Amino acid sequence: MRTTTGFSDKIREVAVETFEMMSYMFPLEDSEVSSEQQVLPDDMVASVVRFDGAAKGGMVLRATPDFVTSLAVNMLGIEEASEEQKEGALCEIVNIICGNVAPLFKKGEEICYIRPPRIAGPEERPDDLFRNLCHESVIIHLDEGTVEILVYYTRTEEAV
Amino acid sequence: MQLANRHKMKLNILVTDDCSTVRLLISKTIRLSDLPVDRIIEAENGAEGLKQMAENRVDLILMDINMPEMDGVTMLEHMRMNPEYRKIPVLVVTAESNKQRVPTTDMDNIAFLSKPFTPQLLRDAVINITGVTNS
């Protein structure tokens, strides 16, 4: 169930700021995006974070392995990143983006609780992780590559 | 800690975060910040953080909230019950949504640094809460 509630703009804003501040990656102008970059590759890896409380849902951040390598190297200022560092970097970015988007789901004094992020298994499809939830997708073209961010959400009355 | 002493001392900093990548990011950023730092001690959850505090002199804690085993809120609750610990400055490094989870009213010296952050923001936050100046 896809909705147009305007979360996409906030997700894009938060994500761009996060990539800029944490890993010195900057968004491309539309005119700088090639037709090849418009098509998302199949070999993307993903980090996943769930939230509950005022709303239930989660966020998935998908990127290519090469992008994840650049992300970790830039974040940590190192020449070469270990697998643990790559996974940690991808998890931390989705944690930050989700943590700054989740307040949109706040209901009065009730807040959202972000759970620890993890790397999705190769067989795990985002839509299968969060069935029957509203979702929005944002694609961001950065100078180091393209990422897709999906947010899934519902109200507390509905089960995840 | 007397304010006058803070300007002279080198800080022992405890970084508590379950993600080793984040601990490394924070540690490296602090090392490159030109701040007077002696040791940076790492812990991957609140329980380990409390253990490190019992074994080491700690002048500043940089703390995540969302950690397994013992989260940052619980670690702060333990610190509150110890008159010695509750005076240690705590910089909670977290995304926006977690700020509301932290009760701050009965802590002596607590501040927040929102993620994402730049090296300059982290440096400024450490200076603001500890009173230290450049090394």
Q: What is the ipTM of this complex?
A: 0.84
The residue extents of the domains of chain B are: 3-129
Say which residue, B6 or A39, is predicted with more confidence.
Answer: A39
Nearest beta carbon to residue B98 from set A76, A84, A114: A114
Rounded to a whole number, what is the distance in angstroms from the first to the last CA of chain A? 14
In which band, very low, low, confident or very high, does the pLDDT at B119 lie, cut at 50, 70 and 90?
A: very high
In the structure encoding, which two tokens stand for residue A68, read together? Answer: 């994840």
pLDDT at B4: 44
Contacts of B72 in chain A (CB under 8 A): none
Percent of chain B with pLDDT over 90: 66
Residue A62 phi, psi (nearest 5): -115, 135
> B68 contacts in A (CB within 8 Å)?
116
Question: Above 60 in pLDDT, residue B2?
Answer: no
Q: Is the confidence at residue A3, as pLDDT, over 70? A: no
pLDDT at B67 over 60: yes
What is the Cα–Cα distance from B27 to A42, expressed in whole angstroms?
A: 35
List the single range of A21-25, A108-112, B18-22, B65-69 with lowest mean pLDDT: A108-112
CATH class of A7-33+42-154: alpha beta
- Decide if B66 touches A, using CB distance below 8 A: yes
B15 part of contact set with chain A, CB < 8 Å: no
Second CATH level (architecture) for the domain B3-129: 3-Layer(aba) Sandwich (3.40)
Q: Please list every residue in chain B whose beta carbon sits closer than 8 Å to the beta carbon of residue A87.
A: 21
Domain positions in chain A are 7-33+42-154
* Separation CA B1–CA B87 (nearest Å): 8
Question: What's the gap in Å between the CA of B78 and the closest CA on chain A?
Answer: 21
Look at residue A105 in the predicted model and tell me its pLDDT.
Answer: 83
Residue B83 CA, distance from chain mean position: 17
- Chain B nearest C-alpha distance from A144 (Å): 19
d(CA B62, CA B94): 10
Residue pLDDT, tens place only, A60-93: 999 999 999 999 999 999 999 999 999 999 999 9
- Confidence band for B105, pLDDT divided at 50, 70 and 90: low
> Rounded distance, CA A96 to CA A14, Å?
9
For the stretch A97-118, pLDDT in tens is 999 998 888 777 788 888 889 9
- Among partner residues A84, A95, A102, which is closest to B20 by beta-carbon distance? A84
Q: Is the dihedral of CA A90, A96, A101, A107 positive or negative?
A: positive
Whether pLDDT at A26 is above 80: yes
DSSP per-residue letters across B76-121: HHHHHT-TTGGGS-EEEEE-HHHHTT---TT-SSEEEEESS--HHH
Residue of A nearest to B28 (CA): A76
Is the Cβ pair A114, B97 closer than 8 Å? Answer: yes
Which of B21, B114, B116 comes nearest A85 by C-beta?
B21
State residue A158's pLDDT score.
44
Cβ contact, residue pair B20, A85, below 8 Å: yes
Q: Which residues of A touch B45 (CB under 8 A)?
A: none
Burial code (b: 16+ CB inside 10 Å, e: under 16) for A85-116 equals bbbbbbbbbbbbbbbbbbbbbeeeeebbbbee
From B28, B68, B100, residue closest to A111, measured CB to CB: B100
Which two three-digit tokens encode residue A18? 């996060």
